[in-house]
Structure 1
Amino acid sequence: MQIGSAFNTSLAGLQKASEGISQTSHKIASESLPQQREALQSKAEEQSLAENANREPITSTTDKLTSLLEQRNAASANIKALQTTDEVIGKIIDLKA
């Protein structure tokens, strides 16, 4: 595996984890607002059953928090991989010098 490839893979994984953390956090925060919840319930009642079948499944706050922890762990793993890649590059440069 090339060093650049390892760096790019870790960076892409970190970006994906970061986006997942942002999205999940936003979902949790929006559900905690009573007015937002009431508006969503009213809107859901107005939609037809066919439209509701196409919506993403409703998950509990516990599931969302679990997902948040998984994404945090993925981000940590990718950060560690980036640090290791940085160390390897540093050692290679030291050897070449």
Structure 2
Amino acid sequence: MDRSVPFNCVVRVDADQRDAVFEAMRGQGIGVGAHYPPNHSQPAFAKWHRPLPVTDEIGQQILSLPFHPAMSDEAVHYAVAALDQALHSTP
């Protein structure tokens, strides 16, 4: 596995903070996203939909950070510092 490349760095933030954290980081030029909404809520899976309250709750909390092998140490530190700042400056 010495050649594997992780492709996601997903963090969990309070649902009431996520949008503000998202906007704060985007405002600093950081390409964050809200990837992978819960599958059971996607139209392709409507036929199998059932209540999954914990999945729905976590789906409102996750945020994907930039994460790829070409990121420099400086870019990683910048993204982490921006996340820390956003988490501490949003109510």
Same fold (TM over 0.5): no
Where is the helix percentage greater, Structure 1 or Structure 2? 1
TM-score, normalization by structure 2: 0.31
Higher normalized contact order (CA 8 Å, seq sep 6+, divided by chain length): 1
TM-score, normalization by structure 1: 0.30
